[in-house]
C-alpha cells in the first residue's frame, strides 16, 4: 500500500470542494418550536372559510418562524406542540370569540416515545384578526390579544420543556410569559384571562403559580419525573419508576397548601394516562404506595387510577 503524502494541488482541490459543499448544505439550525396549528369554526356561517385558513397559516408561521430564545436548536431538537383554536362566535368579520387548547411533549432518551408535558384548555380567548395581516410580537408592549396569547403559550411551552431537562431551567421563559401578562394588565380594560379577577384558571393564575415559592415542588417534579425517571427507564425500569413515584408523592406538599389548584390539574390532565401506563405493570407494592397519593392530590381522575392501578 502506497502511503505517500498528497500533493499540494490535491489538498487545494479538496479544500475547494469542501468549501463548495459547505455552501450548498442548508443550515441544520432551526427555530425552537414545531407547533402544529389547527383553526376550526364548525358553527360559523357569517365568515368565509378562507379567513380561518389564512389565520391558521399566519399562526403557524408566527409560532414556528420566530426565534423565541438565544439558544441554538437543531431541527431534531425542536419542541413538539399543538394548538387547536375553536372559533365559537364571530361578532364581525374580524372579531372572534374562541377557545384554545395547547399541548406539548418532549422526547424520552433511548426511545421513540414523546412524553406529554402540557395540556391546557383556555376558554378566555377573544381576538381580532384581519385577513392578510402579519402577526407581530414585541416583548415590551401589548399589541393585540391574539399576539399576546400566542406569545404567552410559546414561552410556557418552552419553560416547561427546559424545566423537564434541568432543575428550574425554564425560569427565564416563565418570566417572559409573565411579562406578557404584565403588558396586558397595563391596558385600561384588559381582555379576559390576564388579571387576578379572571379566576383561578386564568393565564394570570397559571404563570403566577409557576413562579411562586409554593409551586417549586411541582417544578422539581417536572425535572425528576422526566430526567431521573422516564429518561432512565431504558437502563433501569425499576429505579426509574421509583424516581417517578417519589416525584409524584412530593406533590402532597403543594396539595396541602393549595388543594385542587389549576397547575396541579393541568399537570395531571397531561400525565394521568402516562402514569397508568408506567405503573400498570409494576409490582403490587409499588402501585399500592402510589395509588392513595394520586387519589388524594388528583381526585378528579380517581376512576382512571382505580381502573389502571388497582
Distance CA 210, CA 80 (A): 21
Global pTM value = 0.90
Tens of pLDDT, residue by residue over 140-153, are 999 999 999 999 99
Tens of pLDDT, residue by residue over 72-108, are 999 889 999 999 999 999 999 999 999 999 999 999 9
CB hemisphere CA count around 301 (13 angstroms): 23
> What is the rounded end-to-end Cα distance, in angstroms, of the chain?
69
pLDDT of residue 181: 98
pLDDT of residue 118: 98
Distance CA 165, CA 193 (A): 29
Tens of pLDDT, residue by residue over 50-69, are 999 999 999 999 999 999 99
pLDDT of residue 22: 38
pLDDT of residue 76: 87
Tens of pLDDT, residue by residue over 124-140, are 999 999 998 889 999 99
Pairing of strands 95-107, 114-128: antiparallel
Is the pLDDT assigned to residue 21 strictly greater than 60?
Answer: no
Tens of pLDDT, residue by residue over 229-285, are 999 999 999 999 999 999 999 999 999 999 989 999 999 999 999 999 999 999 999
CA distances from 241 to 68, 72, 165, 273, 292 (A): 34, 32, 17, 15, 16
| C-alpha cell belonging to residue 233 | 427507564
Is the pLDDT assigned to residue 28 strictly greater than 70?
Answer: no
Q: How confident is the model at residue 12 (pLDDT cuts 50, 70, 90)?
A: very low
Amino acid at each position: 500500500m502506497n502511503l505517500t503524502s498528497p500533493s499540494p494541488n490535491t489538498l487545494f482541490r479538496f479544500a475547494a470542494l469542501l468549501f463548495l459543499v459547505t455552501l450548498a448544505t442548508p443550515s441544520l439550525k432551526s427555530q425552537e418550536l414545531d407547533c402544529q396549528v389547527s383553526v376550526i369554526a364548525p358553527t360559523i356561517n357569517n365568515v368565509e372559510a378562507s379567513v380561518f385558513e389564512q389565520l391558521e397559516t399566519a399562526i403557524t408561521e408566527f409560532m414556528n418562524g420566530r426565534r423565541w430564545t438565544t439558544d441554538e436548536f437543531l431541527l431534531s431538537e425542536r419542541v413538539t406542540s399543538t394548538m387547536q383554536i375553536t372559533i365559537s362566535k364571530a361578532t364581525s368579520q374580524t372579531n372572534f370569540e374562541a377557545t384554545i387548547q395547547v399541548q406539548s411533549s418532549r422526547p424520552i432518551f433511548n426511545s421513540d416515545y414523546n412524553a406529554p408535558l402540557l395540556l391546557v384548555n383556555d376558554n378566555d380567548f377573544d381576538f381580532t384578526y384581519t385577513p392578510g395581516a402579519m402577526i407581530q410580537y414585541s416583548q415590551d408592549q401589548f399589541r393585540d390579544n391574539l399576539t399576546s396569547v400566542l406569545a404567552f403559550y410559546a414561552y410556557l411551552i418552552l419553560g416547561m420543556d427546559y424545566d423537564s431537562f434541568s432543575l428550574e431551567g425554564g425560569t427565564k421563559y416563565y418570566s417572559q410569559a409573565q411579562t406578557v401578562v404584565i403588558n396586558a394588565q397595563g391596558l385600561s380594560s384588559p381582555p379576559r384571562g390576564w388579571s387576578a379577577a379572571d379566576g383561578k384558571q386564568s393565564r394570570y393564575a397559571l404563570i403566577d403559580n409557576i413562579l411562586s415559592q409554593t409551586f417549586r415542588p411541582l417544578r422539581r417534579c417536572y425535572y425528576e419525573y422526566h430526567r431521573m425517571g422516564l429518561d432512565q427507564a431504558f437502563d433501569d425500569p425499576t429505579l426509574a419508576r421509583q424516581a417517578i413515584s417519589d416525584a409524584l408523592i412530593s406533590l402532597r406538599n403543594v396539595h396541602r397548601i393549595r388543594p385542587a389548584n389549576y397547575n396541579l390539574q393541568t399537570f395531571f390532565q397531561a400525565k394521568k394516562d402516562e402514569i397508568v401506563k408506567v405503573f400498570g405493570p409494576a409490582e403490587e407494592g409499588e402501585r399500592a404506595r402510589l395509588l392513595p397519593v394520586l387519589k388524594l392530590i388528583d381526585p378528579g381522575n380517581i376512576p382512571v387510577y382505580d381502573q389502571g392501578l388497582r
